[in-house]
Structure 1
Amino acid sequence: MKHRTVGTSGLRVSRLGLGTGEWGRGVDGDDAAAQITAFVEAGGTLVDTSDTYGDGRAVRVLAEILDDVVPRADLVLSVDSGLSPADAAGHWTVDCSRRALLAGLDRTLRDLGTDHLDLWSVGAWDTRTPLDEIAATLETAVSSGRVRYAGVRGYRGWQLATLASRVSVVAAQAEYSLLARGTEDDLIPAAAWHGVGVLAVSALGGGVLTGKYRDGVPADARGADPVRSAGIAPFLGEDGSKVVEAVLTAADGLGTSPLAVALAWARDRPGVASTVVGTRDIGQLTGVLAAEDVDLPSAIAAALDDVSSPWR
């Protein structure tokens, strides 16, 4: 697997990252161990987790794997703080105060059994906490040795620019796919100006770009979950269907999977350092890893750009 530098920093990561959003929920410890083993054997390094995933279960599953299954030193661990797990209605609590951020960092380090995180990100924009306080907290975390690099998640372009003018930020994690291109007009230009690398998440549009919703909603899919379906509902209309059909056509012409086409498109966009993908089982991960060998011809990439332009 190829590796890239994150922005203008010295942090290097695999251009495909392993997400743990399903760990502890739909993925048990054995499945997680199999996934991370295959990922590392393929040359992957970037592993993304959060104490909001599965109400903290994802971190606990990862903790059982570190060193016992894969050496901690072989991984680039990316974690965030500042968000509390969603309640039953899907509402999040944001608290990026110095007290909350450092408490979250120390808790994560303790739960993972490690003395540092490679990338630690502010989990959300917090209107109640002064930005200078957030910047100082990131500096404290890095200078103390508990964190190697600082980043943000879910920031708009102007928010990233404002924080990056106060403290060194190397990564911005954001949703980015053929069905979610708003970051191109906002976050990505700001990231490029400040030397920040983009970590793209949800590159498969919640699974929509694989074609799995083409003929309806599968019973075991995210779209069948009343709470989680809200994230993909906007993609299931006419404009989304046009993009999906274009991806399926491209995949057929290239002799590969729609997953590989959608993932390769996001992976190779300007400014993207890595694309983070979560999988339910080793079979799905195998398909994701196969995308590493897919390079989209410029004509196909241009055609996908054109058909997905309404999503900018």
Structure 2
Amino acid sequence: MPSSRPRVLTLAATALAALTLAAGCSTPAADSEVVTDEGQVFDLSAAQSERVRVDRVDDIAALVPQAVRDRGTLVVTGSGGTAPPLRFYADDDRTVIGSEVDLTYLVSDILGLTPDLRVADWSQNFVSVDSGESDLFVSNVTVTEERKDKYDFATYRLDNVSFETTEGSGWTVETRQDIAGKKIGVSSGTNQEQLLVEWNERNVADGLAPAEIAYYQNASDYYLALGSGRIDGYLGPNPSAVYHAATSGDTEVVGSVSGAGDALQGEIGVLTKKGNGLIEAVQRALEHAIEDGSYQRVLDRWGLGGEAVDVSEINPPGLPRKVP
């Protein structure tokens, strides 16, 4: 079923408005809350008393493979707690919370399962799914044609990526030419890296200087590099960039694009091992949540309402394959 959403998001201002966050200082409402200048409240507590919960839907739960139903748990892996508001540690420094966690609970509720949350490094999440140790990988995973060879996806959010830099830098990114000669941080193995590499190749072909790419795995590392001037900017998931800019007061988002660049609108999906029988149940659960409004409540709770999809699709067109 096709979606009516726009295919490409190109301007940072549009992304900011859509996410209802302002790049400015935040106000601490309580030890377990952060409130932005626009009034968005982020609950940082381990309790998460306002988490959106729903009832089991029997006909969708019946689609879950028998072995998983017998076990009674849905094992979901994801990256470590360094990327608010997507997936990060609560104020107790051990409980993982965020929009991706809430989505996991939502799908688990509908399927009548108890979520079993795991944390691993980015590459190890794929290994965990490959081995069957984890059922799903839910952690801002972009649908790509290459990944679809091994995995099935059920989409649940638009994939937009943003350039974040120190406030007042005077640098803006509206086209690929704007990165020429800059030093830009990125996480290795991500679609953001792929986008930078592709833009560099096209810029060099046009006679422009390539951007220097610096690799980081932890948010604390690239924000230290940004603050010390060792990099000009960082390219990462739009939700994390806007959240950090809104709550830190010393950085700003200077450009946002689809994770697929100017080719198509990238999408984020729940990832599972191809052919393990789970993807239809997960997609049906997401569709049910979209229809009953619980999905939108989850995204709004974390300031991500503007990245909602109209429908959840199984294995839609993804980012193109890397050219050898």
TM norm structure 1: 0.31
Structure number with the higher helix fraction is 1
TM norm structure 2: 0.30
